[in-house]
Structure 1
């Protein structure tokens, strides 16, 4: 006696296979979205009065609190860019070199800071005058920032 089998189910194309594929596609999306929504509901401010931080609440954070949470290289970059408004680029490059000498952990960020200073110097002084201040601070990154601002 020969038993009949359902070839459609045996080959894996039945309803269970379709449901499995649908879940495999939909479930990760649902998990990611629910995780994202859960993270937005967490009280990250430390203030127990409100568990949801809105965009208007973020404006209440003082500039001192923002500076405390910023990386040292970002603080140094902003300080030197502000100093560039009042001093010539040569003086600012000297201060960059002094900061790196005082805090060797900033050395790995020196290149990006010097490039930023070079781009800012081009905006303020023009390419020819900005290039005249270039010197070998952080592997001549100031000069490459000047050249990069021209393109």
Structure 2
């Protein structure tokens, strides 16, 4: 019995790592990076375009800017400013971009609502950068 257990143990010691490596390799050969509705882009282990896809990735503050501007257009500047403050609080690395993002929201608010109504949404998010953007947008 002891001999059989050793034989099974040795077999598992040789076969198990191979199985784990192969299953891990197969699991990561197709990783969807795009949204399900977008054109199907996958990164494979042997992909020649991997470095090109990595360069095309956008910075987090650029993604946030687009999302905030969309919120401003679909809802109002208050929602976008609240989301900006929440994003900066949750991810402190965005703080250095906060003023630029708030100014962009201010300019977009002027374009949508006009200077007087846009100024009504002004709040002290990222100091007074939103108000500065409103003034620039006039």
**TM-score after normalising by structure 2:** 0.61
Question: Structure 1 residues 121 and 66, CA, compared in 2 at 3 Å: closer, same or farther?
Answer: farther
TM-superposed CA distance for 1:66, in Å, is: 8.4
Give, in angstroms, the shift of residue 67 of structure 1.
9.9
Backbone CA RMSD of aligned residues: 2.2
When the two structures are aligned, how many residues end up with a matched partner?
Answer: 90
Name 2:20's counterpart in structure 1: none
Q: Which has the larger Rg?
A: 1
Q: Report the alpha carbon displacement of residue 88 of structure 1 after superposing the two structures with TM.
A: 1.1
4+ aligned runs moved over 3 Å, structure 1: 65-68
Q: Distance in 2 between matches of 1:135 and 1:75?
A: 22
1:23 aligns to what? none
**Aligned CA distance change for structure 1 residues 46 and 81 (closer, same or farther; 3 Å):** same
In the alignment, which residue of structure 2 is the partner of 1:145?
A: 133
TM-score, structure 1 length as denominator? 0.55
